[in-house]
Amino acid sequence: MTGQEPLNKKAKFLVVANRLPTDLVTHEDGTQEWKRSPGGLVTALEPILRSHHGAWIGWPGVADAEPEPFDQDGVTIIPVKLSAEEVENYYEGFSNDTLWPLYHNGIVEPQYREDWWETYKEVNQRFAEVAAETAAENGVVWVNDYQLQLVPALLREMRPDVRIGFFLHIPFPPLELFEQLPWRDEIIDGLLGSDLIGFHVPGNAINFQRLTNVRRKHRVTRGKMSCVGHCGHIEVPQKEGSPRFVKVGAFPISIDSGAFDEQAKTDEIKKHGVELRKRVGDPATLALGVDRMDYTKGIEVRLEAIYQLLQEGRLDPEKFVFVQLATPSRERVDAYKELRKRVEEKVARINGEYASVGRPVISYLHQSAPFEDLLGFYRNADVMLVTPLKDGMNLVCKEFVAASTDGNGSLVLSEFAGAARELRTAYQCNPYDIEGVKDAIMHAIEDPEEERRRRMRALRRQVLTHDVNRWAKSFLDALPEH
């Protein structure tokens, strides 16, 4: 363990998320070390956390680990312990095998199990207790994502003085689907403990408002359908006194786009990108996919589209390479094991039929790629394929745009990614319409250069002016005062 000092102060600004911004890594000799995992959320929130003596509550990523809180660059890190059984029931089970598929339109069948739900409740209670102990008087607590939807109400019960914001990073489903959940009313009431509930896109906010209106009979004041920011209020009756108002809004998350642009421009990344392109045979067209290995991401859709385009002779295997970087994810959940098998069979089939010796058409990795490789590929790919069946936002497409500093990449983007609402000039497609996906890919490759550049210019304007700092600020600015 590193020699960080245990701390014991109250935080005026608190982030609560399933995972900490730093992972506890255990080496082969049994020694442990904290490794920072600098994602977009961390980058956006770190300066705010630092300036407010902030704290971050989350699980360190290892079962049964119980490290003491410590200070990391001015932010208090507060680990929450999860036993191996809790990881299985709360995280892999209820979060990733019940809520994740249900909220992504039931792409795979959600599993409903009472024992998973019981553990979900217990773990949410623990997170809420730690937050209640940590938050300073009248502080701000920002709760994140589907793993912790009961925390707002539990926390409000213990600490009515704090202001609670909740942000959902995945889609919120329509009423007709959400109502399958045996514990639907408990989840709604958990979320309604917040002062502000944020979603990526207005459609999600509207789904939630309609649900509370229909199931809980709460009065809803709706903003404009096209709203970004404040979309409306839900009036929640109280046992005593006047009702509480919960603000609901759409806040499309983004990336640290300036940093991506800057880093992608460096000579090192430029050279590295050229080198990577050479390594895959310097094809006339390099297409790229970057995803967690998840059935929501539509990896199979793009493989099928490429397969058919090769069969029809619209893509030439001598001139085309597709690089798919697929980070391992949730490998103990059955649906993920099955997906991996299907993807790998498809890759093998395409290469078996169309590759030549030493020259695969599909270059597939089931590994977490180093960040420099990611940037190098983003910068040098001709076409980026982002074809989710459903995605809250999708940051990969924004990263590709920000890193396309030469202004000449083409983005193929599913209409069902939250990002499609902002990235209008992408080559958009319906991932359920295979002919449409194939046509979008061919347009992205064959359109005149001027058309491709025009589209990318508009995408870059959008992504570079709407970064993750703007997202965090708009959410926090919308959090009502008590």
Our CA angle for 160, 165, 170, nearest 5°, is: 140
Taking CB under 6 A as the criterion, the residue among 215, 292, 453, 454 binding ligand GDG is: 292
* Residue 42 touching ligand GDG (CB under 6 A): no
Closer CB to ligand GDG, residue 369 or residue 442?
369
* Residue 396 touching ligand GDG (CB under 6 A): yes
Restricted to residues 237-266, the positions that interact with ligand GDG (CB under 6 A) are 253
Taking CB under 6 A as the criterion, the residue among 259, 274, 369, 442 binding ligand GDG is: 369
Least distance in angstroms from the C-beta of 107 to ligand GDG? 12
Closer CB to ligand GDG, residue 70 or residue 336?
336
CB-CB neighbours of 133 under 10 Å: 12
Structure tokens at 138: 């009248």
Strand order in the sheet with 427-429: 362-365, 320-327, 285-292, 383-386, 410-414, 427-429
Contact 387, 411 (CB under 8 A): no
Least distance in angstroms from the C-beta of 199 to ligand GDG? 10
Least distance in angstroms from the C-beta of 290 to ligand GDG? 5
Taking CB under 6 A as the criterion, the residue among 159, 169, 247, 340 binding ligand GDG is: 169
Taking CB under 6 A as the criterion, the residue among 232, 392, 409, 431 binding ligand GDG is: 392
| CA-wise closest residue to 234 among 268, 207, 259, 254 | 207
* Residue 170 touching ligand GDG (CB under 6 A): yes
Half-sphere exposure of 365 (CA within 13 A, CB side): 14
Contacts of 319 (CB under 8 A, 6+ apart): 283, 284, 285
Closer CB to ligand GDG, residue 134 or residue 254?
254
Contact 13, 49 (CB under 8 A): yes
Q: How many residues bind ligand GDG (CB under 6 A)?
A: 18
Least distance in angstroms from the C-beta of 5 to ligand GDG? 30
CB-CB neighbours of 357 under 10 Å: 5
Q: How many helices (H) and strands (E) would you count in the chain?
A: 17, 18
* Residue 325 touching ligand GDG (CB under 6 A): yes
> Which letter, b or e, does each residue of 285-321 get, where b requires 16 or more Cβ atoms within 10 Å of its Cβ?
bbbbbbbebbbbbbbbbbbbbbbebbeeeebebeebb
Least distance in angstroms from the C-beta of 275 to ligand GDG? 18
Closer CB to ligand GDG, residue 206 or residue 374?
374
**Residues across the chain:** 482
Contact 437, 302 (CB under 8 A): yes
Closer CB to ligand GDG, residue 76 or residue 144?
144
Taking CB under 6 A as the criterion, the residue among 134, 263, 394, 474 binding ligand GDG is: 394
Q: Tell me the window of 73-81, 147-155, 391-399, 474-482 that interacts with ligand GDG (CB under 6 A).
A: 391-399
Contact 252, 471 (CB under 8 A): yes
Structure tokens at 287: 């297409």
Distance CA 405, CA 15 (A): 33
Q: Tell me the window of 182-190, 216-224, 395-403, 442-450 that interacts with ligand GDG (CB under 6 A).
A: 395-403
Least distance in angstroms from the C-beta of 482 to ligand GDG? 27
Taking CB under 6 A as the criterion, the residue among 131, 141, 153, 290 binding ligand GDG is: 290
Least distance in angstroms from the C-beta of 228 to ligand GDG? 15
Which residues of this chain interact with ligand GDG, rule CB under 6 A?
169-170, 253, 290, 292, 325, 327, 368-369, 371, 374, 391-396, 399
